Structure 1
């Protein structure tokens, strides 16, 4: 009986020490986070070249790091938690209403460009649901764009490149 109690106390002690270590491990991971590592991880997450990213407003807490990233004229609010990156595009204007979404979903044929909201609207129309076209090209939009690209025999980059834009415009 004494051995059983001693083993139980030892197991509880080990388990409590292990759970107490999680913040220490994450804190150690956070200590090694710098601007270069943020650029590399964010570039991989967004699928863009690291040299074209700007990192700003780095805020390290005990378990995570929050920061702003900018790629061209697109801004993102990002967090790294236990080594995993999550970024959300920061809209440059207020959340669009339904009339502006409808206008944004019409591709600009003259420029050859397509906004994220236009691509999202078109993906929805083609059966690759991304939700309400809001111009925020997050994980779901990228995943559905990759699926669309694969279905059209394109390289599944998740990027809105010229061949993908052309395929989105010409698809039935």
Structure 2
């Protein structure tokens, strides 16, 4: 909860709300640490995907200020998008504070587009939420360069 309350000063989730989300069978949550030897949590993200639903919702993403601009937020979002694709989701939605252009820019760079505004969504400071949507590509783009050939029984995930 330390990251939650430091990143979302005025609109942090409660401990009870966070515990409920983490206990949900429909959630997909990730935590990020600096490396295998340093297990401090410096970021986390959560995605909600109801069974059989064609869409998913980014519930939360937070990265400590000192860990920002290192690609961590992009990596967390990439993993959530990959999980959405794995579950057959066609669209991913999120809400982002209208006064957070850095996050909006990250989401746009990942293919999200603004589709609506929810006035006075974030309380108590009455900040609008920008609703964004990603049309999930059916497959990932193949990277340029050498590829690894595997037999069917040895295929990588």
Fold shared by both chains (TM-score > 0.5): no
TM-score, length basis structure 1? 0.27
Of Structure 1 and Structure 2, the greater helix share is in 1
Of Structure 1 and Structure 2, the greater strand share is in 2
Structure number with greater CO (CA < 8 Å, separation at least 6) is: 2
TM-score, length basis structure 2? 0.29
